[in-house]
Amino acid sequence: MADDRFRIFARRRSAARRSPFIALLLAILPAPARANAAGVAAAALPLAAPDRSVMAALPFADPDHPEMAAFPFAGREGPEIAVLLGEVPARISVGCAPGHDLIIEDRAGTALAAAPAEIACARASLRIDGGAPRRDRFRLRAGPGALAGPEARGAPAVIQIGAVRYEGALEFLPAPDGSGAWLLVNRLPLERYLLGVLPREMNASFPAAALRAQAVAARSYALFHLLREGPGAFYHLRADTSSQVYGGFSAEPAIRAAVAETRGEVLLHAGQAFETFFHSTCGGCTADGAAVFGVPANPALTPARCGDCAHASHYRWSCTLAESDVRRALAPLAARHRAALGEILAIEGVERGPGGHASYLRVVHRDGSFEVDGAVFRGNLAEHDVRGVRSTAFECWRAGADLHFEGRGYGHGVGLCQNGARGMAEAGAAAEEILGRYYPRSQIAALW
């Protein structure tokens, strides 16, 4: 059997640039807060509670500080973040709540628009309510109308597209690739953004401690991308699973409480923001961030033993897929490398971590073999609607005309195990203990 001897890699991630306010944080935090003393990852040691007394010395917490000119800041609601919702469709209707006006902001100033505004998108231009074509970026936001009563003035200023409501502003901007498409970006304070992330990433019925841990992890993830992309970026995050899922405004009481009770709290390692990955179910042990995503080695993203997700439906799983369907999903990968892909005989894990998660998978077929990044493998299956493989921690073998998989866990396995957090919280663990298990040797800092 020939060996094609090539690997198909995923896009590797880069580290965040060190920020001036993070450097200042290091200088003013007391030594115990700078260096968390968590031991082995399996110990589930709680992190120290955040020290809010340092806030007055942080430029990031002061919107009048000259360093903040680059980062729009909404005080207690945190810095402004830009979330890519997707491409603007051919036609879109944008409304707002009763008692509010729809406001257009562009280089010429501000103007009122009829609500709902009907937007038509053509190549390289947009029209609002049949008006003159627009070719430059502009924003739509909602504000209390001149005749609005007290109830409307106290309600959140939300913009609505279909059934989804958004706080902040919706920005329409030409795609930077020159394709003629337009991008739709939601710009809003980070704390308000989290209200739209938590209910899509964790069930609101989970215990409060688990929701608070998820809020800190999601806020930290967003901060990392804000710093990495910088204030001038078209957007910092996407609204789908390629970043963290965001679905607009949420009034869920448990979600709002988790965000409010952890306001401004983020995880740092050695004074730097890092990509605080999270996933549904680890299956007994989390995976290493450097091995799975190619990020720089970080003690806060090393494997941690977890016995608290055993209740989850995908703690252990199995599925049987038609070999022809799996081959169809993987054929484009082989074709890009001008390699043949014969009938698949087996799929083997390569470079497995302690929890069984494989960084690469070796596809053994009748004409040879090749190795594919685990995330690329699962992504290609999903793209071709081949469902059932929940993680890369599996064994696979032929069963007649099918491939049979036996595996553990759901997701990439790095960082916070959401069902593990639920199990810990149900057993009485606080959010700090949950975060201490899944992000060892990190520390919590309250930045605003």
Q: Model confidence over 406-448: pLDDT tens digits?
A: 999 999 999 999 999 999 999 999 999 999 999 999 999 998 8
What are the φ/ψ torsions at residue 259 (nearest 5 degrees)? -70, -45
Residues in the chain: 448
pTM, two decimals, is 0.86
Neighbours of 430 (CB within 10 A): 17
Q: Model confidence over 379-407: pLDDT tens digits?
A: 999 999 999 999 999 999 999 999 999 99
* 212/267 Cα distance (integer angstroms): 13
* 355/194 Cα distance (integer angstroms): 30
Cβ proximity of 302 and 415 under 8 Å: no
* 192/171 Cα distance (integer angstroms): 17
Residue 411 structure tokens: 């997701």
Which region holds residue 204: left if phi is over 0, alpha if psi is between -120 and 50, else beta? alpha
First to last CA, the chain: 60
Q: 207 to each of 211, 248, 358, 421, 428, how far by Cα in Å? A: 6, 22, 31, 9, 9
Nearest to 393 by CA among 253, 286, 270: 286
146 burial type by CB count under 10 A (0-12 exposed, 13-18 middle, 19+ buried): exposed
pLDDT tens string, the chain, 448 residues long: the values are 445 555 555 544 544 444 444 444 444 343 333 333 333 343 445 666 664 444 444 444 444 434 334 566 667 899 999 999 999 999 999 998 888 889 999 888 888 888 889 999 987 899 999 889 999 999 999 987 655 555 555 667 899 998 899 999 999 999 988 888 999 999 999 999 999 999 999 999 999 999 999 999 999 999 999 988 988 889 999 999 999 999 999 889 999 999 999 999 999 999 889 999 999 999 999 999 999 998 999 999 999 999 999 999 999 999 999 999 999 999 998 888 888 899 999 999 998 999 999 999 999 999 889 899 998 999 999 999 999 999 999 999 999 999 999 999 999 999 999 999 999 999 999 999 999 999 999 999 998 8
Contacting residues for 206 by C-beta, under 8 A, at least 6 apart? 214, 418, 421, 422, 425
Nearest to 431 by CA among 193, 262, 308, 271: 262
For position 9, what pLDDT does the model report?
55
| Per-domain residue ranges of the chain | 20-78+191-300+416-446, 89-180, 316-408
Bond preceding residue 116 cis, omega within 30 of 0: yes
Nearest to 266 by CA among 15, 7, 37, 52: 52
